[in-house]
Amino acid sequence: MSGLRILVPIKRVIDYAVKPRVNRAQTAVETANVKHSMNPFDELSIEEAIRLRERKVPIQEIVAFSAGPAKSQDILRTAMAMGADRSIHVVVEEKDPQLEPLGVAKLLKKVVEEQKSDLVILGKQSIDDDASQTGQMLAGLLGWPQATQASKVDISDKTVTVIKEVDGGVETIKANLPMIITTDLRLNEPRYASLPNIMKAKKKPLEKKTLKDYGLDEQPRLKTLKVTEPPPRKGGVKVDDVDGMISKLKELGAL
Amino acid sequence: MAASSRVAASLRRAALSSRPSPCIRNIRPALQVRWKTEATTSASTESVGQLDAKGGLDGPAPAKSIKFTSDSYPNIQRESKFAKLSEKHVQYFQELLGSDSAVLDGVTKDATEDIEPFNADWMRKFRGHAQLVLKPSTKEEVSAILKYCNDNMLAVVPQGGNTGLVGGSVPVFDEIVLNLQKMNNIRSFDEVSGILVADAGVILEVADNYLAERQHIFPLDLGAKGSCQIGGNVSTNAGGLRLLRYGSLHGSVLGIEAVLPDGTIVEDLSLLRKNNTGYDIKQLFIGSEGTIGIITGISIQCPRRSPAVNVAYFGLESYEQAQKAFVAAKAYLGEILSAFEMMDGRTQKILKKVAGTKLPLEGDYPFYCLVETSGSNTDHDSEKLQNFLEHVMESEIVADGVLAESQTQVAELWACRERITECLGHWGGVYKYDLSIPIAQMYDLVEDIRERLTKDGLLGDTDDHPVVDVVGYGHMGDANLHLNVPVRRFDKTVEKALEPYLYEWTSKRNGSISAEHGLGLSKKPYVGYSKSETMIKLIKQIKNLYDPNGILNPYKYI
C-alpha cells in the first residue's frame, strides 16, 4: 500500500463564540461583518488526519476541501497551516443557490473519485445548519462503511477501529478501508496554527474549482420560510433582603 | 489599584467546568460557550458581584484568618480625634437610609459575619475593624452621610468593588465603610457622541456589556472587570489593558459628580470634550483614592467598538527581542495596535502548572508577547498583521508564535496573560509591585531581585524557602512592569529584602513606584521615591482644603 489518501472536507461558519443574529427580513442569519472561522468539528477532522500521520500511519496525502464563498480560502489556509498538504476550493458565492447536505455529499462523491481518496474524515455536523447528514449521505452514495461521532480512531493496515459516541456510552466498531469517519468533540484537541507554518501554508497549492467542473448543478430542495431567534430568557429578580426574598418566593408559589 | 486577577473570567470558567459532564474536561472549553452563553452570562455577572462582596475571591477560606492591618502595621495608630461609633449614630443612619439592607449594623448587635467581607481585601492582606457599613442609593444620601460624619468627626472609607491591590478600599480601624454598590444605574448614553453617564457603583463589565450592545467600548479594561466599579476605577485612575490605545482616564473622563466631606454635592457631569473655563477640578478626583470626596457618578467618552480584533502570541529568545518586536509592532500596526503585553517564561510555566492548561506554543521561551489589534475593517487589518508577522518571523525577532483563528482562540490567548495573577496566588501569597520603568531596563529589575533573593537563600523549590519565584509581566506598551513574588507565606525577611531596595532601584532610574495600582495603605510610606517634597506639600494642601477634618480614607494615600 502506498499510503492513505485522506480527504478532509471543512466549512466556514460563523465563529462559535459569536452570538448569531437573525436579519431584519427574517430570512436568514446575519453574516455580513460577523467573525467567521472553521467549523469546530472540522478542526477536529484536520487534527485527527495530522495525528494519524504523526502516529506513523502511512499517509500519502491530506487534502482539505471546502465549498463556499471566496473567504473560505482563509480556513483552507488555516487547515494547511495546521498540516494539510494541499486544498481544493469550490467557489459557491453567497448569491448563488446554497448547497444542502445532499448536494454537498454528491459533490464530495465526485471529489473522492477524482482524488482517489480512501478515507474521508468529516465533522459530525456544521454548527450553522446542524443538519448532521453529509457524512452519512456520502457513505450511502459511495457505498462505503461509516463510523459516526468518533472519539478514537486506530488504523492498522487496511483495518480501521473506531470508538464512537452513542447515547449512554461508547461503541467500538471495525471496518475496512475505504471508509467515512465523522468526528465528535472528544476525539482530540486541535492545535494552534503556528506562525512558521502559516507562512509555509501560503506556498502550499490551493486549487480553485466550480460546481460545473464536477458536472453538478444542484438546486435547493428546501425553502426557508422564516428564521426567528429563540425567545429571550427572562432575567432574574434582585431582592433587597431576606424578607424580600421570602415574600417573592411565596408570590411565585415556591414556598 | 487597577489590575487584579481575571476574577470574572475565571469564575465563569469555573461555572462552565463544574457542569456535570466529567469526560468533557479535555475538550477546549469554549466549544460549549456558544450554547451556554445566554444561560450563564447574566447569572455569572451577578454572582461575581456577590462573591466579591463576600470576599470569597481567593477560595473558601474564611476572612477571619486574615491578619488585622492594625497588627501587621503596628506603627499606625488610631487617631484619637475621631469619635467612636455609638447607638445614636447608627440610629441616625438607619432613619436616613430607611431599608435594613442599606445599613449593616455591627455596633448595637453582632454582625461580624455580614461586615467581614467589607473589612477585608481580596488579596487577604488587609483587614479592618469596621462595625458599620452604609450603602446609600442616591447622591443626596451620600451627602447627608458625609455631612453627619464630618460634623461628628466620624471617619469614612469609600468602597467600590473592593478589588484594589494596595489596601485603599478597606478600613484600618473602625472607620465607617461607605459602599456604592447600590448606586448602579446607567443614566444615559448618547449614540452619536459616545458619551456614557452612569452611577459610580456600576460594575465595569456591566457598563462594557451595555456599551457592546450599542457598538461602543468602555475605554478601560482590566482583570477585575467583573467585580470592580467604574466609580472606583476613576477615583483610583485605573490603567489596565486598553490604556495603550485609549489613553488614561484623565483624558476620557469628561465629568464627575462627587460629594465633598462637608456634604457639598459637586455637579460637574460635563458632556463636553472641550471646556476651557477655569481649573479642571475633576482631574483632582481622578486618582485621589477617595481622599477628597466620594465620586457618585461619571460621564465618560467611549470609543466605537472595533469589529475586527486579532490576537497573536509570540515566543521570544530574549528581552531585547521583545523590545524589537514592540518597535516593529508600532511600525507595522500603527493605529490598529491595541495591546502589547509581555510575560516572562516563568509566568507561563506557572500558568501551565497551576491552571493545567496547555500553552499555545510547543517550545519553552524565556519571553512571550501578546499583541492585539483592533480596527474597523477585517481585510485591512489582516493585511497589516500579515506584513507584521512576516517581518518578525523573517528577521527572526520572534522564535515562534501563533495567531488566533477564532474568537475562542482570542480568548484562550488572552487567558495566558490574564490568568497569571490568579495562578501566582496558588502557593499562599504574592508580593505585588507595579512599576513604571524606562522600557530598556524594565526587565533588569526582575533579574536583579531574583538574584538578590537567591543569594539571601530565600528563594527555592522546597518548603523551607518562603519565596517560590520572582516573575515579571506587564503592559510593555506603557513601560509598566508587574513584578510579582509568589511566596509560600508572608515573611518579614522577604519584605525587608524587597523594600525599600526595589523602590530605590526604580527611583534611581526615574521610574514610578506605583504605575497604576495607586498608593493606598501599602505604598504610602514610599511616595517620596516618586514625588518630590514640593509635590507632596501641594498634594497635602489640596487634601486639607477639601477635607479639613481628614475624615475621608484616613491613614492612607499621602
Kindly list the averaged pLDDT for each block of 10 residues, start to end, along chain B of length 558.
Answer: 40 37 36 33 33 37 71 91 94 88 86 90 88 95 96 96 92 95 96 96 96 94 90 94 91 96 94 90 95 97 92 94 95 92 95 90 93 89 89 92 88 91 89 92 94 93 92 92 93 90 93 92 90 94 96 94
Same-domain pairing of B406 and B444: no
Last residue of a domain, which of B301, B318, B347?
B301
Q: What is the CATH number of the domain that holds B235?
A: 3.30.465.10
Three-state DSSP state, A136:
helix
Three-state DSSP state, B328:
helix
- Interface contact flag, A193 B405, Cβ < 8 Å: yes
Q: Please check whether residue B437 is in contact with residue B515, taking contact to mean a CB–CB distance below 8 angstroms.
A: no
Residue at B160 is within a domain: yes
Cα-Cα-Cα-Cα dihedral sign, residues B409, B413, B416, B419? negative
Query: Which candidate from A37, A186, A241 shows the least CB-CB separation from B23?
Result: A186
Residue at B531 is within a domain: no
The alpha-carbon gap from A183 to the nearest alpha carbon of chain B, in Å, equals 13
What pLDDT shows up at residue A115? 95
Q: Which residues of B touch A37 (CB under 8 A)?
A: 405-407
Cα-Cα-Cα-Cα dihedral sign, residues B296, B302, B305, B306? negative
What pLDDT shows up at residue B64? 53
Last residue of a domain, which of B247, B274, B301?
B301
In degrees, rounded to 5, the angle at the alpha carbon of residue B170 between the alpha carbons of residues B165 and B174 is 155
Q: What is the CATH number of the domain that holds B336?
A: 3.30.70.2190
Question: Is A151 a residue whose pLDDT tops 60?
Answer: yes
Three-state DSSP state, A239:
coil
Cα-Cα-Cα-Cα dihedral sign, residues B104, B108, B111, B112? positive
Task: Inform me whether the C-beta atom of residue B28 falls under 8 Å from chain A C-beta atoms.
Answer: yes
Q: Where are chain A's structural domains?
A: 4-251
Same-domain pairing of B68 and B175: yes
Q: Please check whether residue B263 is in contact with residue B146, taking contact to mean a CB–CB distance below 8 angstroms.
A: yes
Written as nine digits, the cell of B336 is 490598529
H-only helix segments in B153-281: 204-213, 230-235, 243-246, 249-252
The alpha-carbon gap from A20 to the nearest alpha carbon of chain B, in Å, equals 9
Same-domain pairing of B195 and B282: yes
- Cβ contacts of B13 within 8 Å, gap of 6 or more: B29
The alpha-carbon gap from A8 to the nearest alpha carbon of chain B, in Å, equals 18
Q: Please check whether residue B263 is in contact with residue B141, taking contact to mean a CB–CB distance below 8 angstroms.
A: no
Mean pLDDT for A118-144 is 96
Same-domain pairing of B336 and B399: yes
Same-domain pairing of B165 and B192: no
The alpha-carbon gap from B8 to the nearest alpha carbon of chain A, in Å, equals 17
What distance in Å separates the CA atoms of residue B373 and residue B385, rounded to the nearest whole number? 8
- Interface contact flag, B406 A186, Cβ < 8 Å: no
Cα-Cα-Cα-Cα dihedral sign, residues A127, A132, A133, A135? positive
Same-domain pairing of B80 and B151: yes
What distance in Å separates the CA atoms of residue B299 and residue B255, rounded to the nearest whole number? 5
- Interface contact flag, A186 B26, Cβ < 8 Å: yes
Query: Which candidate from B401, B408, B410 shows the least CB-CB separation from A194?
Result: B401
Nearest CA in chain B to A33: B307
Residue contacts between A and B (CB atoms, under 8 Å):
91
For residue B288, give the amino acid letter: S
- Interface contact flag, A193 B411, Cβ < 8 Å: no
Domain ranges, residue B386 = 308-420
What pLDDT shows up at residue B100? 73
- Interface contact flag, A192 B402, Cβ < 8 Å: yes
What distance in Å separates the CA atoms of residue B261 and residue B547, rounded to the nearest whole number? 6
Cα-Cα-Cα-Cα dihedral sign, residues B39, B40, B42, B46? positive
Residue at B20 is within a domain: no
Same-domain pairing of B391 and B375: yes
Same-domain pairing of B102 and B162: yes
- Interface contact flag, B390 A199, Cβ < 8 Å: yes
Same-domain pairing of B78 and B124: yes
For residue B371, give the amino acid letter: V
The alpha-carbon gap from A169 to the nearest alpha carbon of chain B, in Å, equals 11
Nearest CA in chain A to B36: A17
Nearest CA in chain A to B30: A17
The alpha-carbon gap from B121 to the nearest alpha carbon of chain A, in Å, equals 24
- Interface contact flag, A233 B411, Cβ < 8 Å: no
What distance in Å separates the CA atoms of residue B358 and residue B349, rounded to the nearest whole number? 10
Interface of A with B (CB under 8 A): 15-19, 33, 35, 37-38, 40, 78, 127, 185-186, 189-190, 192-196, 198-199, 233, 235-236, 238, 240-241
Last residue of a domain, which of B420, B442, B476?
B420
Cα separations (Å) of B396 from A237, B317, B322, B426?
A: 56, 10, 11, 35
Query: Which candidate from B314, B390, B407 shows the least CB-CB separation from A18?
Result: B407
**β pairing state of B176-179 and B156-159:** parallel
Mean pLDDT for A90-94 is 92
Query: Which candidate from B314, B401, B405 shows the least CB-CB separation from A38?
Result: B405
What distance in Å separates the CA atoms of residue B56 and residue B297, rounded to the nearest whole number? 27
Residue at B493 is within a domain: yes
H-only helix segments in B225-306: 230-235, 243-246, 249-252, 282-285
Query: Which candidate from A19, A40, A195 shows the least CB-CB separation from B401?
Result: A195
- Interface contact flag, B42 A240, Cβ < 8 Å: no
Number of Cβ within 10 Å of residue B222's Cβ equals: 21
Q: Which residues of B touch A15 (CB under 8 A)?
A: 406-408
Burial of A203 (0-12, 13-18, 19+ CB in 10 A): exposed
Report which of residues A237 and B134 the model is more confident about: B134
Predicted confidence band of residue A110 (pLDDT cuts 50, 70, 90): very high
Q: What is the CATH number of the domain that holds B464?
A: 3.30.70.2740
The alpha-carbon gap from B370 to the nearest alpha carbon of chain A, in Å, equals 13
- The CATH fold assigned to A4-251 is Rossmann fold (3.40.50)
What distance in Å separates the CA atoms of residue B311 and residue B403, rounded to the nearest whole number? 6
Q: Please check whether residue B191 is in contact with residue B182, taking contact to mean a CB–CB distance below 8 angstroms.
A: no
Q: Which residues of B touch A127 (CB under 8 A)?
A: 34
Mean pLDDT for A7-34 is 90
Q: Which residues of B touch A236 (CB under 8 A)?
A: 42-43, 46
Count helices and strands in chain B by DSSP H and E runs: 20, 16
Residue at B492 is within a domain: yes
Q: Which residues of A touch B403 (CB under 8 A)?
A: 192-193, 195, 198
Nearest CA in chain B to A200: B390
What total of structural domains would you count in chain B?
A: 4
What pLDDT shows up at residue B112? 86
Q: Which residues of B touch A10 (CB under 8 A)?
A: none
Task: Inform me whether the C-beta atom of residue B415 falls under 8 Å from chain A C-beta atoms.
Answer: no
Residue with cell 497549492: A205
